Amino acid sequence: MKAFRNYINGQWVTTAKQFEDRNPIDNSLVALVHEAGKEEVDAAVNAARAALNGPWGSMTQAARGNMLVAVADEIRRRFDDFLAAEIADTGKPKTLASRVDIPRGGDNFRDFADLSQRFPTESYMFDTPDGGKAVNYGVRTPRGVIAVISPWNLPLLLMTWKVGPALACGNTVVVKPSEETPATATLLAEVMETVGVPPGVFNLVHGFGPDSAGAFLTEHPGVDGITFTGETRTGEVIMKAAARGVRPVSLEMGGKNAGIVFADCDFDKAVAGITRSAFENTGQVCLGTERVYVERPIFDRFVAALKQSAESLKPGNPYDDGMNFGPLVSLAHQRKVLSYYEKAVADGATVVTGGERWALPGALAEGAWVKPTIWTGLPETSAVIREEIFGPCVHLAPFDSEEEAVALANDTPYGLASTVWTQDIGRAHRLGSRINVGIFWINSWFLRDLRTSFGGAKQSGIGREGGAHSYEFYTETRNVCVKL
């Protein structure tokens, strides 16, 4: 049986306590994972501190950048290993993981190695009260030891989205991946070892949240900053932990994102776009749309077209050609999503398609499958419309005016992302300035340029990462004032 170990100070560390990592395709066992306790987390944080004050801190920016490019190259060289590991942990289609997850795992190192060479600092000359002059300039230093807590939906992509810039800015990290998806994080530790990243720069601890590695890490006084992606409720707990010692947090959290489709849209592109935003990665994308508002003249036609599109999705073995719809991440998550499927019916929804578990033949019968689901007819007050489900399901409702569409989209405690489909470019931009989200797509969805800001408004997050915004979080600014 495969075992996933912790990686602390350049050493592979086993523990007495292990938990199971299961494949949601058929619930088969992938590996046993060695759970880190307080002692291991403490060793990891201390190793990160020593590396910060030692080899990593004294390395030139260019040498660090070259090392991170080597990490990206090694991920590319081991592409098939990463692909197999991500598929075993999540069941996602090979076509998706090979197009999105694994390439971005490399890009998150390559792009930030490059960007970090170019980040500017400010400087101001000013007149002093004595009639002379002084100059101010900014100095950036690494923030220190960064705790990275990541989720299971895009495991490698979302973990490296934080590890790449954190290391590029000269920090050291202790990473706690999701207990559901420990595999690619373990492979990344192997890559760090192969490339010769100094011990203590990248540390990996496995485990859960409460009373486990996640809580031990975020509560550890030796951590200087915490970057987290996951559920809003977990973010609240982490923010409390961070308050002790006044440590900064970057929180990327849940959403209940609206899609808005106007009657003047390019119809086929809008159907294809909403199909992706609702069902890609089996709806387990924080940026996905679980509420779609469609302008009334095309409402019935749009519902019919999306139904046809949803019904053409193909579950099965992730390696099969044509398979494009995976299971949910776990049987526990399947139970949660199915509870919303039941709730929708109880709240009076019309089930346009799906609404149930997907019974598949053979070994797949044991997996965490549910059908892609479309509802209409729910009141906006239903929990199905208010709460993030994180499954392949979407509610469609008609609207009659731009004003109404904006109000509906904004009527949520979340504010992560939105996608609007229209050929009226003026209207598209107007909505871009009125919908209260961190990320707004026009005639597109999940198109990513790593230099742009990424994060959520309202309960979807605090802070932004990406490009210069990552630089802001992963460095501390000092102003130096010189009297001339």
Ligand X SMILES: NC(=O)c1ccc[n+]([C@@H]2O[C@H](COP(=O)([O-])OP(=O)(O)OC[C@H]3O[C@@H](n4cnc5c(N)ncnc54)[C@H](O)[C@@H]3O)[C@@H](O)[C@H]2O)c1
* Residue numbers annotated as active site: 252
Length of the chain: 484
Q: Are 97 and 59 in contact (CB under 8 A)?
A: no
Bridging pattern class, strands 172-176 and 145-149: parallel
Structure tokens at 233: 């409720």
Q: Which range, of 187-195, 233-241, 373-381, 473-481, touches ligand X by CB under 6 A?
A: 233-241
Q: Which range, of 3-11, 34-42, 127-135, 250-258, touches ligand X by CB under 6 A?
A: 250-258
> What is Dmax (Cα atoms) for the chain?
85
Closest separation in Å from C-beta 375 to ligand X: 20
If one asks whether residue 253 binds ligand X (CB under 6 A), the answer comes out as yes
What does 202 bind: ligand X, ligand 2VS, none (CB cut-off 5 to 8 Å by kind)?
none
Q: Which residues pair with 19 in a beta bridge?
A: 33
Among 23, 108, 116, 218, binds ligand X (CB under 6 A): 218
If one asks whether residue 105 binds ligand X (CB under 6 A), the answer comes out as no
Which residue's C-beta sits nearest to ligand 2VS? 286
Taking each helix axis from N to C end, the angle separating 425-434 and 402-410, rounded to the nearest 10 degrees, works out to 30
Neighbours of 175 (CB within 10 A): 25
Scan for tokens 């350049």, then name that residue.
10
Residues in contact with ligand X, total (CB under 6 A)?
A: 32
If one asks whether residue 287 binds ligand 2VS (CB under 6 A), the answer comes out as yes
By C-alpha distance, which of 442, 410, 448 is closest to 425?
A: 442
Among 73, 81, 190, 231, binds ligand X (CB under 6 A): 231
> For residue 170, how many C-alpha atoms fall within 13 Å in the half-sphere facing its CB?
21
Among 91, 164, 456, 463, binds ligand X (CB under 6 A): 456
Amino acid (one-letter) located at 145 = V
Taking each helix axis from N to C end, the angle separating 102-115 and 467-474, rounded to the nearest 10 degrees, works out to 70
- Based on CB atoms, which residue is closest to ligand X, 113 or 174? 174
Q: Are 446 and 287 in contact (CB under 8 A)?
A: yes
Q: Which range, of 80-88, 150-158, 188-196, 358-366, touches ligand X by CB under 6 A?
A: 150-158
> For residue 22, how many C-alpha atoms fall within 13 Å in the half-sphere facing its CB?
17
> CB neighbours of 63 closer than 8 A, spacing ≥ 6?
none
Among 154, 294, 405, 431, binds ligand 2VS (CB under 6 A): 154
What does 179 bind: ligand X, ligand 2VS, none (CB cut-off 5 to 8 Å by kind)?
ligand X
- Based on CB atoms, which residue is closest to ligand X, 255 or 467? 255
Footprint of ligand X on 158-187 (CB under 6 A) = 158, 176, 178-179
By C-alpha distance, which of 407, 473, 414 is closest to 439?
A: 414
- Based on CB atoms, which residue is closest to ligand X, 213 or 374? 213
If one asks whether residue 412 binds ligand X (CB under 6 A), the answer comes out as no
> CA 353, 355, 360: angle at the middle one, nearest 5?
95
If one asks whether residue 229 binds ligand X (CB under 6 A), the answer comes out as yes
What does 161 bind: ligand 2VS, ligand X, none (CB cut-off 5 to 8 Å by kind)?
ligand 2VS
Amino acid (one-letter) located at 220 = H
Residues in contact with ligand 2VS, total (CB under 6 A)?
A: 9
By C-alpha distance, which of 468, 338, 91, 44 is closest to 220?
A: 44
Give CA separation, 70 vs 58, 107, 109, 112, 194, in Å.
Answer: 19, 12, 9, 13, 10
If one asks whether residue 158 binds ligand 2VS (CB under 6 A), the answer comes out as yes
Among 327, 461, 463, 467, binds ligand X (CB under 6 A): 461
If one asks whether residue 334 binds ligand X (CB under 6 A), the answer comes out as no
Among 285, 292, 349, 385, binds ligand 2VS (CB under 6 A): 285
Q: Which range, of 35-43, 134-142, 192-200, 223-231, touches ligand X by CB under 6 A?
A: 223-231
Among 150, 153, 250, 289, binds ligand 2VS (CB under 6 A): 153
Among 216, 454, 471, 474, binds ligand 2VS (CB under 6 A): 454
If one asks whether residue 215 binds ligand X (CB under 6 A), the answer comes out as yes
If one asks whether residue 161 binds ligand 2VS (CB under 6 A), the answer comes out as yes
Among 388, 392, 415, 469, binds ligand X (CB under 6 A): 388
> For residue 268, how many C-alpha atoms fall within 13 Å in the half-sphere facing its CB?
0
Neighbours of 56 (CB within 10 A): 24
Neighbours of 331 (CB within 10 A): 14
Bridging pattern class, strands 249-252 and 461-462: antiparallel
Where do contacts with ligand X occur on this chain (CB under 6 A)?
149-153, 158, 176, 178-179, 208-210, 214-215, 218, 229-231, 234, 237-238, 252-255, 286, 388, 390, 416, 456, 460-461
Which stretches of the chain bind ligand 2VS, using CB under 6 A? 153-154, 158, 161, 285-287, 448, 454
